[in-house]
Structure 1
């Protein structure tokens, strides 16, 4: 990887921001640190304003686009991908209930994330009220998206796609470039408030747990697919290793589509099935991302002493599985799409969101690798039942798949 390519990586920039934040916290004067605390307050308030708009703009055309697909196998494949994603979320919740009282016993994150009440406070804040609540945005997006699948209005659908492109441009050109500064300010303030070492050590445990669980979940997917299809799950998983390695290196589900397609074909998946399932699941199957977000979010709740009821956890998982389908085509897209639910359902503030984003991006490639490798297991299942019923689709050859306009790093 060249220096230019490395410097353009969001993961690289976030890691540099964390390191610089740690180092600068050792000698920065308070007056200078308060400048970054002020920026974080403004940026966090802008996120609160922008997230409902983001949710409506991204989810509406995503739902409408899925509804325009023909055939029952679109619904079945989408259903399998969604079930896989939410099962991952339930496992993450179960692990948090079982392991966190042991793994995070005695850990306290309240002081670490409550930046504005620490020694370093912003010079001023500017309130930025959202145009509507997050849940209102979700409900409106679902209602309009589903209505568009019935009305079949090309004009309305194109308008929704235009709004989606505008919002994604804001994300790509404004929010993502400023995220490293936001994370730098958070770690700078953590260090100057004396909570940095505690926070890093605590979150390291959760990062390791999340990485291990994404791998174990992929193995479980292939054990199930192998049992249903009647094939050796470990041989099938071995054939998918090139896709896993490619996703690990690129952190991009879109860039991995041609490799995932070839691996699925090597497992005996028909060309028309692979050409249909692999590009579709590159957008809608996010089991690895769900595992990471769930484990990180529940750890923050546990360490801040916030009780998460089973009913709220179930609602959060079900909603997150839908919301992440609209993950914007930028690095860390799934966590950006999840911000609204973290705030509205789990009560996260801007600093807790920043900590979530930093932790998520740190192992982003492992979640993406789990997502795309799991796509191969879904392809095996659909191939078992639908190989003679699916027409040849665009993307059923390597050349066509490479041209598939799926969103870069949707996972």
Structure 2
């Protein structure tokens, strides 16, 4: 099992959870509910630490170094991420009501949470601060570290990021499949899983189609700025796309992304700067997935998915996932705080989101890194036009 990637583990966990939920007595489901309750409470405790640990040093690092080029790249990458989230919202709003039973879970179960088996016991693990407090503190520390002369605070924040990365890679990610197994066993026992699985298949097809559509849009725009054939540019980036499907990590794909970007005749200096930076700040594919999956889960539960609810979430998502951890599923971990504070997700709904996201994480990562090549072409074109 240790050699398996996170995606196979999650798939196995979902299958085993459904089987266990179908044949097990309530005592077994209660024990699994106890585990998932404890894990969920620990996750709630960890969310503020994840937010501070990744956003604060990420912003601090963005504030130093390349000046105008840094600002230009960051603006283009953030704009791309917001446009991706907005397109995902518009497509999901138009298509999901036709393929999903809006409020289906609440029609079948008066309260979906009450239909689940309750744990034997729970241990309260209150977070050290609220999500919005953590976000504000992360912005304050990150911006502060970027403008002061000393670097002691930045070093402390980088060390904190390493601790949080260790916590995610050594504790949360290894235990996550068992948590998903427990959640799906409980959902199966409560009779809710068939509807949720039908959602998985339909939503995945639409998400992957949106990824591909958005890549075409990105490269058409890049082709205008770089005065190059957009489809040749996109074809040259395909090795990076397929490498990312295998690695599930933007950071691990950087060498391939960099090589293919230079094949697109992007200036070496621009490529060397933009590609590693965009690996941490440009997450258009992940944003499409998170927005689409959250809307599907919310529609099933009869929650509001209006533009006034979702657009602030999209804006914050673009910031919160800056320097998201370089582990599979890192983006959804960084977004958990927003799902709970801005969209009102419960522990069960966040568990569904994690499972939905990780099941297609490799395709979101592939969209991210392939889009990085388009950002590099756009930045290169803007830099040359300003120099001229």
The two structures share one fold, judged by TM-score above 0.5 = yes
**Structure-to-structure mapping, 1:268-279, within 5 angstroms:** 268-279=265-276
CA contact (8 A) 1:214 1:288 kept: yes
Of 95, 105, 121, 1:99 maps to 95
Change (3 A) 1:353 1:119: closer
1:349 aligns with 2:346: yes
Q: What is the Cα deviation at residue 107 of structure 1?
A: 5.5
Cross-structure match for 2:309: 312
1:252 aligns with 2:249: yes
Provide the TM-score with structure 2 as the length reference. Answer: 0.95
Change (3 A) 1:292 1:119: closer
Distance 2:131 2:370 in 1: 32
1:178 aligns with 2:183: no
Of 57, 77, 87, 1:61 maps to 57
Higher alpha-carbon deviation: 81-90 or 155-164 = 155-164
Of 6, 26, 30, 2:26 maps to 30
Q: What is the Cα deviation at residue 108 of structure 1?
A: 1.3
Cross-structure match for 1:407: none
- Find the residue that maps to 2:104 and give its secondary structure: coil
Distance 1:114 1:65 in 2: 45
Q: What is the Cα deviation at residue 157 of structure 1?
A: 1.0
Of 204, 216, 220, 2:201 maps to 204
**Structure-to-structure mapping, 1:332-347, within 5 angstroms:** 332-347=329-344
1:75 aligns with 2:87: no
Distance 1:263 1:150 in 2: 35
Q: What is the Cα deviation at residue 314 of structure 1?
A: 1.6
**Structure-to-structure mapping, 1:56-205, within 5 angstroms:** 56-106=52-102, 108-110=104-106, 116-118=113-115, 120-205=117-202
Higher alpha-carbon deviation: 221-230 or 132-141 = 221-230
Of 236, 241, 250, 2:238 maps to 241
Cross-structure match for 2:381: 384
- Find the residue that maps to 1:117 and give its secondary structure: coil
Distance 2:242 2:384 in 1: 27
Q: What is the Cα deviation at residue 47 of structure 1?
A: 1.3
What CA deviation, in whole Å up to 9, does each residue of 1:193-242 have, x standing for no partner? 11111110122211111111111110110011112222111111111111
Higher alpha-carbon deviation: 50-59 or 74-83 = 50-59
Q: What is the Cα deviation at residue 243 of structure 1?
A: 0.8
Computed over aligned residues only, the root mean square deviation of the Cα atoms, in angstroms, reads 1.9
Q: What is the Cα deviation at residue 178 of structure 1?
A: 0.8
Higher alpha-carbon deviation: 254-263 or 380-389 = 380-389
Distance 1:114 1:152 in 2: 54
CA contact (8 A) 1:247 1:256 kept: yes
Distance 1:129 1:38 in 2: 17
Aligned length: 386
Change (3 A) 1:322 1:23: same
- Find the residue that maps to 1:109 and give its secondary structure: helix
Q: What is the Cα deviation at residue 70 of structure 1?
A: 2.6
Change (3 A) 1:224 1:113: farther
Provide the TM-score with structure 1 as the length reference. Answer: 0.90
Distance 1:347 1:324 in 2: 19
**Structure-to-structure mapping, 1:352-371, within 5 angstroms:** 352-371=349-368
What CA deviation, in whole Å up to 9, does each residue of 1:355-403 have, x standing for no partner? 111111111111111001111111111122326999xxxxxxxxxxxxx
Q: What is the Cα deviation at residue 126 of structure 1?
A: 2.0
Of 44, 48, 51, 1:48 maps to 44
Higher alpha-carbon deviation: 231-240 or 126-135 = 126-135
Q: What is the Cα deviation at residue 121 of structure 1?
A: 1.6
Q: What is the Cα deviation at residue 326 of structure 1?
A: 2.9
Distance 1:248 1:129 in 2: 36
What CA deviation, in whole Å up to 9, does each residue of 1:258-298 have, x standing for no partner? 11111111111111111111111111110000000000001
Distance 1:273 1:249 in 2: 26
